[in-house]
Structure 1
């Protein structure tokens, strides 16, 4: 039995087996993907343990989910990326799966330190971090605080520096499990999904305590602490119908940071983006990653 140590993965075979048995909550994924996927526990700090879903072999990518949601949101694109030659690492946020750690009085810097520990322990080389929605805040914070660990940052459906008032209320309603599904669906459709896409796909998969913890962590961190994403190359992967990214703000990141930013827009998708256009997301990520210096 391997001893737990700071920054080292947990080798408890019983826990590992139990996690692997629950690795695929989505039955549509094929058996080969299930067999290739497993979990590793990383002791990120004395009081923080991070559950990492790992699959594939090759260049490491780290995927970070939206606020209040878990790494399972990436099941389909992780499978596609693994098939295209990547080792995909998906750290579960604190409070989801087997990830544990303080949930109150934390900042984005604490969450970025969790990701840095996973990179050191599992990738053991600089990586591309892909952050979806709130996850892009954590990705950018990690790149600012730990530049030696980051080859590039992909911000997926990242909100504008200032987005329209009222949208955050719809995020809160979407994740409020005490509300009727019909009310939550209205908010999901308004804030996350473009017309013609099934907002019901996100009725499940919310973790209210995690959502609140992350909301407060974001409020406790100055936007200027993380906005630049450090100095690494950046992919600004936008959804064409994302209410958090009005057309008037389309170029704000590229205008501010210039040549290190690659801007790609996926038409017909909303803020959810990943479940709406998984193939287009993967194509954009692969094309950009392969353009980066090795």
Structure 2
């Protein structure tokens, strides 16, 4: 399986899920362009570019089609990948994502881009943490939630500002409402019942455009795979076993 991370994160976002699945599956994680250890390629970016990046990785590293799991920007990459490179995708998991943004949402994305380019990525970090995690997870020192939040915040704050802004612009421009109808592989859509960034209604909208797609929810905010790794991993196992 291939795990594709959210905007502003990097491959270690998946640590909890990967640890639970590595005995059962070959798990391949990667950093999107401009994130983590990947090169901050000059923009502009599009989701088609991110999908082609993933396709190149799969072609180079996998022996055949993969279970592709994407969260947030990774879930948007998943939708583009399944249409552009269907031969590489055995099944698809789209978590905490959208399939398009209206004009009001795009205005909000542009405001974030403007802030990042003017003040740097740290200027939007606190707001991101509030969207990514529930208050109790952010405050959970004993259970490790607070430490995970701090680590992910650090990774966000050190991302190249221009690359982050280019990624925001790529995400804000998506519209998969028509192209998703060409997806033919089994698909699972995961929503967070406390996700204010991509509410469950957005997950349902994705389901409505992919024939046979299943919708499951978790009690989590936007980064559901970080907040609920065991429950997230179990959803994947159940789905993959049925998608064989």
Q: Is the structural similarity TM-score above 0.5?
A: yes
Q: Which has the higher helix share?
A: 2
RMSD, matched Cα: 2.9
SS at match of 1:231: coil
Match of 2:196 in 1: 243
Give yes or no for contact 1:68–1:211 (8 Å, CA) kept in 2: yes
Report the Cα distance in structure 2 between the residues aligned to 1:245 and 1:96, rounded to whole angstroms. Answer: 21
Report the Cα distance in structure 2 between the residues aligned to 1:132 and 1:247, rounded to whole angstroms. Answer: 13
Larger Rg: 1
SS at match of 1:139: helix
Q: How does 1:195-234 map to 2 (within 5 A)?
A: 195-198=135-138, 199-206=149-156, 207=159, 208-219=161-172, 222-224=175-177, 227-228=180-181, 230-234=183-187
Report the Cα distance in structure 2 between the residues aligned to 1:101 and 1:205, rounded to whole angstroms. Answer: 14
Aligned residues, how many?
226
Match of 1:28 in 2: none
Change (3 A) 1:109 1:162: closer
* Aligned counterpart in structure 2 of residue 157 of structure 1, from 87, 93, 96: 96
* Aligned counterpart in structure 1 of residue 232 of structure 2, from 273, 277, 281: 281
Cα offset for 1:87? 0.6
Match of 1:255 in 2: 208
Match of 1:74 in 2: 14
Runs of 4+ in 1 over 6 A off after TM superposition: 169-175
* Aligned counterpart in structure 2 of residue 271 of structure 1, from 222, 234, 239: 222
SS at match of 1:251: helix
Cα offset for 1:75? 1.6
CA distances 1:188-229 after superposition (whole Å, capped 9, x unpaired): 343221231115453211113332121223345544475457
Report the Cα distance in structure 2 between the residues aligned to 1:75 and 1:105, rounded to whole angstroms. Answer: 29
Unaligned regions of 5+ residues in structure 2, if any?
Answer: 139-148
Match of 1:99 in 2: 38
Report the Cα distance in structure 1 between the residues aligned to 2:129 and 2:111, rounded to whole angstroms. Answer: 9
TM-score (norm 1): 0.67
Give yes or no for contact 1:64–1:132 (8 Å, CA) kept in 2: yes
Unaligned regions of 5+ residues in structure 1, if any?
Answer: 1-60
SS at match of 1:128: strand
